[in-house]
Structure 1
Amino acid sequence: MRNQIEILLWPTDLPAGAQTIPTSQIEKLRDEETNEHLTFVGQPTLTVYFAPEDKSNGCCVVICPGGGYNILAWPKEGIELAKWFNNFGVTAVVLKYRVPRRNPDKPHWEPLQDGQRAMRLVRQNASQWNIDTSRIGLLGFSAGGHLTLMVGTQHGMDSYNPVDSADVLSSRPDFLCPIYPAYLGPNYRDDIPELGNLVKIDSDTPPTFMSVTLDDDYRGVQAGLLMSEFKRADVIAEAHIYAIGGHGYGIRPSDNPVSNWHWRLKEWMKSQGFLQISTIS
């Protein structure tokens, strides 16, 4: 059985109108890359971490690492969680979306294109990857949490023109997991207790699990405001707002209760039926 594969997100060229970064800047960005951070992504990919055959239950989670739409915290907010999901039968797909920001006024736009395309490619490959098309979730950290909410709430709007047969499929995730999501305020601000107009919750918003802390700027308060929107739209949602923990911890251990957020997520996924074993035809 394959342990993992990597595939290109786009078959040939990037979507029409894709903004480029000067070669000199790309070279500088690559010089700044570390084992923890990817500093430049020009060709987005999906890395699929397959659940072991004897554990696989058909559920899949697409993971969007964070990094302010400028870098990707690749191991901490991607690979480590993917391997954790595999332990209980979930196939995980880590999205390497385009960074750094191409458009300072709309930093999420290229990642949104990549996110919508990722959901469609996973659906297209569901049969051969042993995935149930009714149990494909999207999880993201920080900026990736913002991206998760953008994909989850704007699936009725296509951010790019179709490029192949995958693009007739739905980009709507079956559930959302924004973890310490950033940029939810007006003009992408985290320092005010308000939600911006990009966050549009309605009755078609997927069931959602959130985890955040109150000492992480106003992100905990913004999560509380989101819960009001979920309630108003009659959307299934659960939020864990911890007192302390800060930002950017992934699933790495600490003495803070927030370090167990991923176990609460597993419980929630089980309670919603996403971890039930099914036969994939």
Structure 2
Amino acid sequence: MAGTARPIRLPWPRSFFPKHTCSLSIGDFILPRIRVVIPTLLAIGIAGAACGQAMKNDSSPARVEVPKVEREGVWQSTPGGTQVPLWPANVPLAKPDSGDRPETTGNGSPLVGGRKWHWATYVTRPTMTVYRPKGRNTGVTMLVLPGGGFYAVAMDLEGTEVCDWVTRQGMTCVVLKYRTPQVWPKENGEQQRPKVLLGLEDAQRAIGLLRQRASTYGIDPRKIGVIGFSAGAYLVANMSNTEERTYPLTDAADRQSPRPDFAIVAYTARMLDNSKGKNSLELKPWVKISAKAPPTLIIHAMNDSVDDIRQPMAYALALNDAGVPVDMRVYAKGGHAFGMRPTADPITTQWPGQVEQWLLNIGML
């Protein structure tokens, strides 16, 4: 049920944020030594996840803003989508770091392509929303993992809008609304991966359900891939390099392989071990690489001020060293969190075509 709109305000003035460039990074952001409540963390997380869009060449104002409004209520799919629960109602799930707050939706800023973007958070019952292909059906499925800094899920910018393009290419598209927020702990000043990565559990569950229900959805169970953005890209990397399911067996769907058949990572995060120095391309200790990872396409902008170019470079080199086919498409400009909305930067209009050609190259289309 929709509730009263609640503006989210940070305890710092707007001047705290840079005007033309952003150095705010969820991975490296150090909070003051005060107790910060979840709504404040959420505001910081979403602002950081989108701050790379506040660039001079973007059509949005050259500043970083926090989300404008949040409303209690479960996110609803756009027309044509069928929202499906990931887990049986009687299965107890680990809760995100949201206390007892109900699921909440809202709109965020800065503007991307001149428009607001919308997110969901305090997600305790994750879902996948299935969009059938428009016209011909290639049998290929794309599971979409939006970003949001693990504080929220950017449902339209990096979710349903991606599906609008995917379904026009004859593919089934599935948007994952995974459990958030999940705060990453710090130890000795270094950010640590949570012991249980809730979004990874939800993503693996979605892959299993899609393979089990392949005949229902009219898809090829051997052609199910994933695309992730920012935090979602980090989840994609984990899915690609994890052969074992990360949660106890629930039902027959969990007997299916949780590994995708192809992977696309866009402006990926949380891969690089920053403690090794500025010129290092060493991955964080918990980032494991498997020779069985699927063919991977990496998309990134050189001027991404949230997750710099060394993040995908380190991942690409590690995959290559393991013998995994990996391609990179790097553009000079584009910033962070551009999704599929056209701006003055070529990456925003060209990367979908690069994905289509790559899928042809690896024999998926």
1:190-224 alpha-carbon deviations (Å, 9 max, x no partner) = x8754212322222011001101121145312212
Distance 1:14 1:71 in 2: 23
Distance 1:188 1:92 in 2: 38
Query: Alignment partner of 1:123: what SS?
Result: helix
Distance 1:157 1:261 in 2: 31
Residues 150 and 198 in structure 1, CA contact (< 8 A), matched pair in contact too: no
Query: 1:83 deviation in Å?
Result: 1.2
Residue of structure 2 in register with 1:204 after alignment: 292
Residues 267 and 300 in structure 2, CA contact (< 8 A), matched pair in contact too: yes
Query: Alignment partner of 2:356: what SS?
Result: helix
**Compared CA separation, residues 268 and 195, structure 1 to 2 (3 A):** same
What is the aligned counterpart of 1:62 among 143, 153, 166?
143
> Which one has a larger percent helix, Structure 1 or Structure 2?
1
Query: 1:40 deviation in Å?
Result: 2.0
Query: 1:235 deviation in Å?
Result: 1.1
Q: Does 1:143 align with 2:224?
A: no
Query: 1:230 deviation in Å?
Result: 2.1
What pairs up with 1:81-96 in 2 under 5 angstroms?
A: 81-96=162-177
Residue of structure 2 in register with 1:6 after alignment: 83
What is the aligned counterpart of 2:207 among 115, 119, 133?
119
Distance 1:188 1:249 in 2: 28
**Compared CA separation, residues 127 and 185, structure 1 to 2 (3 A):** same
Residues 47 and 95 in structure 1, CA contact (< 8 A), matched pair in contact too: yes
Residues 85 and 91 in structure 1, CA contact (< 8 A), matched pair in contact too: yes
Query: 1:17 deviation in Å?
Result: 4.8
What is the aligned counterpart of 2:324 among 225, 235, 241?
235
Distance 1:6 1:227 in 2: 34
Residue of structure 2 in register with 1:272 after alignment: 362
Distance 1:20 1:39 in 2: 10
Q: Which runs of 5+ in 2 are unaligned?
A: 1-78, 108-116, 186-191
Distance 1:232 1:151 in 2: 18
What pairs up with 1:157-196 in 2 under 5 angstroms?
A: 157-186=244-273, 193-196=281-284
**Compared CA separation, residues 226 and 103, structure 1 to 2 (3 A):** closer
Q: 113-122 vs 193-202, which deviates more?
A: 193-202
Query: 1:157 deviation in Å?
Result: 2.4
Query: Alignment partner of 2:206: what SS?
Result: helix
Q: Does 1:50 align with 2:132?
A: yes
Query: 1:274 deviation in Å?
Result: 0.9
Residues 16 and 160 in structure 1, CA contact (< 8 A), matched pair in contact too: no
**Compared CA separation, residues 19 and 142, structure 1 to 2 (3 A):** closer
Distance 1:19 1:145 in 2: 19
Q: Which runs of 5+ in 1 are unaligned?
A: 276-281
Distance 2:274 2:148 in 1: 18
**What do you get for the CA RMSD once the two structures are aligned?**
2.3
Residue of structure 2 in register with 1:76 after alignment: 157
Return the letter of the residue paired with 1:39: T
Distance 2:96 2:119 in 1: 22
Query: Alignment partner of 2:227: what SS?
Result: strand
Return the letter of the residue paired with 1:4: G
Q: 6-15 vs 177-186, which deviates more?
A: 6-15
Q: How many pairs were matched up?
A: 267
Q: Does 1:246 align with 2:319?
A: no
Scaled by the length of structure 2, the TM-score of the pair is: 0.68
Query: 1:151 deviation in Å?
Result: 1.0
Query: Alignment partner of 1:37: what SS?
Result: strand
Residue of structure 2 in register with 1:257 after alignment: 346
